Amino acid sequence: MAWYLILLPLAAAVLALALPRGSARVRLLPLTAVLHLAGLLAALGRGGPLRPGTWLGLDPLGGWVLLVISVLFAICAWYTPAYLALRPNRDNRVFVACFLSFLGLASLLAQANHPGLVWVAMETLTLATAPLIYFNKNQRSLEAAWKYLMIGSVGIAFALLGTLFIAYAAHMGGIREPLYYDRLAREAALLSRPWLRVGFILCLVGYGTKMGIAPLHTWKPDAYGETPGVVGALLAGGMTSCAFLSLLRIQGLMAASGEGPFSRGLLVAMGLFSMAWALVFMVRQGDLKRLLAYSSVEHMGILLFGVGLGGPAVGFALFHLAANALVKCVLFLSVGNIHRSYDARQLPFVTGAIRRTPVSAWLLLLGFLAITGTPPFAPFISEFNLAVLGMGPGRLWPGLAFMALLAGVFLAMSETLVKVVFGTPSRARARTPYRDTFGTTAPLVAALLLTLALGLWLPRPLAVMLRSSAAMLEAHP
Amino acid sequence: MFCDSLIALTMLTNFALVTTSRVAKVIQLAVLQGIILGALPLAMGLGVHPHILAMALCAVAVKGWFIPFLFRRALRRVKTQREVEPYISYGASVVCCALGTAMSLMLAHSLPLAPGTTHPLLVPAGLATLFTGSLLLVSRKKALTQVVGYLVLENGIYLFALMLVEEMPLLVEAGILLDLFVGIFVMGIVINHISIAFDSMETHHLAKLRD
C-alpha cells in the first residue's frame, strides 16, 4: 500500500507529460486525488503498528499529515480544471505533471522511516514545485522561482548537515546503518547529546526555511504572491506541512533522548518570533496574496509554539495543522478568484468584491474569520486551547504573548480585508469576464464546511490518530 | 599529515573566495576547492572502497568540469565580469570569514569525537566552509556568485560527510550525490533563464518583489 500511494500520483504525472491533449490531462487531477484518498483511507482503516525495520510505513504521525495533504490535494484538484479553463493560453503540461508529482513525493515523505529518505523526499519536493511558481512565465514569477529555489536549496543543505550530525550522534552511540526512525527512537538514550543538539538546530534552520518561519521566510511572500492561488493553497497547506513533519520526526528523537526541554524552549521562542514578525508585515499590507503569505508565516509559528509547549498542546498543534491547511485553501482560492475578476490583487484596485464576486468575497470573509480563531471553526479550537495551555502551571507569558499576537493579527488582516470585501467598488479596474461559477466556488465551500465540521466534532478515529501521533512526540527516555 | 594540509588549504581557499572580485576568478577558486575536496578521500586512504572512489570521481567531475562549463557559458553571455559593490565589503568579508572560522573551531572543540577519529580537523573545516558559503550567498549581488556560494556551502557539508562515509556509506553518498547533481542541474537551468530574460546576471534585477 505504501508504494501504491507514492507511485499512483507519479505514474499519473508521467502520463500527464505523455498525453497530447490538455483537457484530458486536467481530468487526471481529480481522478488521481480520489484514488489516492481512497487508498490512504483503506490503509489507515487497516491500521496496525509500523513494521519495524522497514524504509516505508504509515505510522500515526505520518498518516495524519498525509491525510491532511490528501484531502487538501483533492480540494485543489477539484478546483484546478475550472481554473486552468480560465487560462487557456497557458500550456498546462508541466503544471499538471508537477502538481501530481507533489502528491507522490509528499506520500514518500510522510511514509519515510529514515532521516535520509525524508531529506531526499524534501529535496525532490522542492524541485518539483519550483516550475509551479514559474507558471506565469514572466520576470516577476522568474524572480519568485529563483528565490524559492535558492533559499529552499540552502535550507535543504542545512537540513542535510543536520541529518548527518544526527547520524554522527548515532555513530557515537554505536548504532549502525540503516538508521530507521523507529529504531533511533527506541535506542535514543544511546545518541550523543551534543551532536543531537547541534543537529536539531541545523534541522530547525533547514526545515524551518522550508516551512517559512521567520526570519527564514523571505521566499514565501514572493512565491505565494506570484503563483496562481491554487498553487499557493497547495504550498501553504501541503508543502509546509511536509517540512513541519520532517522537523517533528527530529523533535520526536529529541524528546525520546531526554533533550525535550532544550528543543521545546527553542520551538516556543521561534514560534512567537515568527508570529510577531508576520504581524509587523501584515500591518497595512495591501497585497492580498502577500497578506496570506504572512498569515502562513504566522501559522507556522503557531505550530512550532504548540509543539514547543509540550504535553496536551502537541495534540492541538497537530490539529491546527489540519485546520490551517483547510482554511488556507479557502483563502488562497477565493483570493485567486478575486484576482481573476479584477486582474489585480492589491488595494486600492481591489475593493467592493462583495458586489463583483459575491460568493468568493463571502468565502474570503468567512475564511478570514475562521483563520483568526472565530468560533465555531476548527482553528478556534486549536488557537483557544493553545492560548490557555500557554498560561498553564508555572508559566504565564507565553500564553499572554500568544493571545496578544493573535489579536494583533486579527486587526491587521481585518483592515485590508474589510476594504477588499466591503469597500466602494473602484472604477480604476475594468471588470474581466470572470464570474463565480460552480467549478470555482464549490471546492471552497466544501473546504469551509470541513473546517466547520472539524470545529464542531472530531470523529473518533481521527481523535485516536491525533492522540497516538502526539504520544510519538512526547516519548520519555 | 598530507590530509591535514589539504584540509588547511581548503580553509585558505575560503579566505581567497571572499576577497576576490572578478567573477571568473571566484569560479576558478571554487573549482580549485572542489578538486581539493575530490582528492581528499584518496589522501585519507578511503580510495580502497570502490564506492567512495566513485563518489569522489563524481564530485570532481561535476565540480571541476561540469559546473565551470555551465558558469563560463553563462558568463560569456553577459558583459560585466566584476562583482561591483557587494552588500558586505571585501575587507569586512575577510573579518567575518575569520570570525566564522574561529567560531567553527570553538564549536568543533566542544563536540566530542568518536574514539579512533583520524582526522578531527574535518569538523571545524566543514563548519568554516559552510559559514563561508553562507557569507557569499548573503553578501553578493550577482546570481553567479550566489550559486558559487551555494557550491561552497555544499563543500562544507561534503567535508563533514567524510567523517561518516565509511560507517554510513548509503546515507552519506545518497545525500551528497543528490545534492550535487539535482541542485546544481536545476540552478544551471535557472541561471540560463535569468540570463536570457534579463540579459544580465545581477540579482538586483530580481528585486521587484518587496514590501
More confident residue, A74 or A260: A74
Phi (first) and psi of residue A377, to 5 degrees: -75, 165
User: pLDDT digits over A284-333, tens only?
Assistant: 888 999 999 999 999 999 999 999 998 899 999 999 999 999 999 999 99
In 3D, which of A251, A402, A398, A235 has the Cα closest to residue A314? A251
Sign of the alpha-carbon torsion through A209, A212, A218, A222 = positive
Question: Which residues, other chains included, contact B84 with Cβ-Cβ below 8 Å and sequence gap of 6+?
Answer: B141
- Whether residue B175 and residue A164 make contact (CB cut-off 8 A), yes or no, is yes
pLDDT of residue A161: 92
Residues of chain A positioned with their CB less than 8 A from the CB of B186: 127, 130, 149
In 3D, which of A179, A209, A219 has the Cα closest to residue A196? A179
pLDDT of residue A150: 85
The region of weakest confidence among A141-155, B31-45, B128-142, B173-187 is B173-187
Is residue B202 very low, low, confident or very high in pLDDT (cuts 50, 70, 90)? low
3-state secondary structure of A362: helix
Residue showing cell 511572500: A221
What percent of chain A lies above the pLDDT cut of 90? 67
User: pLDDT digits over A191-245, tens only?
Assistant: 999 999 999 999 999 999 999 998 888 899 999 999 999 999 999 999 999 999 9
Query: Is residue A276 over pLDDT 90?
Result: yes
Of B174, B197, B211, the CB nearest to A116: B174
pLDDT winner (highest mean) among A126-130, A316-320, A420-424, B52-56 = A316-320
| Distance in Å, alpha carbon of B109 to nearest chain A alpha carbon | 11
Closest residue of A to B130, CA-based?
A158
More confident residue, B206 or A88: A88
How many CB pairs (< 8 A) connect A and B? 120
pLDDT of residue B203: 61
| CA A58 to chain centroid | 19
Mean pLDDT of chain B, nearest integer: 81
Of B146, B156, B178, the CB nearest to A150: B146
Of B143, B150, B164, the CB nearest to A153: B150
How many residues make up chain A in this entry?
Answer: 477
Of B157, B179, B209, the CB nearest to A143: B209
pLDDT of residue A297: 96
Distance CA A425, CA A48 (A): 56
3-state secondary structure of B83: coil
- Whether residue A124 and residue B182 make contact (CB cut-off 8 A), yes or no, is yes
Distance CA A260, CA A309 (A): 10
- Whether residue B171 and residue A167 make contact (CB cut-off 8 A), yes or no, is yes
Residues 175-194 in A contacting B (C-alpha not used; CB under 8 Å) = 176-179, 192, 194
Average pLDDT over residues A397-404: 94
Distance CA B32, CA A246 (A): 35
Distance CA A152, CA A146 (A): 10
pLDDT of residue A21: 85
Closest residue of B to A117, CA-based?
B171
pLDDT of residue A347: 82
Is residue A266 very low, low, confident or very high in pLDDT (cuts 50, 70, 90)? very high
In 3D, which of A268, A318, A264, A319 has the Cα closest to residue A454? A319
Residue showing cell 581557499: B13
Is residue A176 very low, low, confident or very high in pLDDT (cuts 50, 70, 90)? confident
**Test the A interface: residue of B157, B171, B203 with most A CBs within 10 Å:** B171
Residues of chain B positioned with their CB less than 8 A from the CB of A345: none
The region of weakest confidence among A35-44, A258-267, A412-421, B18-27 is B18-27
Query: Is residue B206 over pLDDT 90?
Result: no
Write out the residue range of the structural domain in which residue A19 sits.
Answer: 2-473
Q: Is the Cβ–Cβ distance between A467 and A474 less than 8 Å? A: no
Query: Is residue B204 over pLDDT 70?
Result: no
Q: Does A157 touch chain B (CB under 8 A)?
A: yes
Of B167, B179, B182, the CB nearest to A171: B167
Query: Is residue B201 over pLDDT 60?
Result: no
Distance CA A106, CA A241 (A): 9
pLDDT of residue A434: 84
Is residue B116 very low, low, confident or very high in pLDDT (cuts 50, 70, 90)? confident
Phi (first) and psi of residue A257, to 5 degrees: -95, 5
User: pLDDT digits over B149-199, tens only?
Assistant: 888 888 899 899 888 888 887 777 778 777 777 666 666 766 666 666 655
Whole-angstrom CA distances from B79 to B69, B75, B82, B197 are 17, 8, 9, 15
| Distance in Å, alpha carbon of B205 to nearest chain A alpha carbon | 9
Of B110, B137, B187, the CB nearest to A194: B110
| Distance in Å, alpha carbon of A219 to nearest chain B alpha carbon | 10
- Whether residue B179 and residue A160 make contact (CB cut-off 8 A), yes or no, is yes
pLDDT of residue B81: 60
Residues of chain B positioned with their CB less than 8 A from the CB of A164: 157, 160-161, 164, 171-172, 175
Average pLDDT over residues B130-151: 85
- Whether residue B175 and residue A147 make contact (CB cut-off 8 A), yes or no, is no
Query: Domains in chain A: how many in total?
Result: 1
Cα within 13 Å of Cα(A348), Cβ side: 4
Mean pLDDT of chain A, nearest integer: 91
How many CB atoms neighbour CB B174 within 10 A? Answer: 15
In 3D, which of B92, B2, B10 has the Cα closest to residue B42? B2
Residue-range domain boundaries for chain B = 2-109+118-206
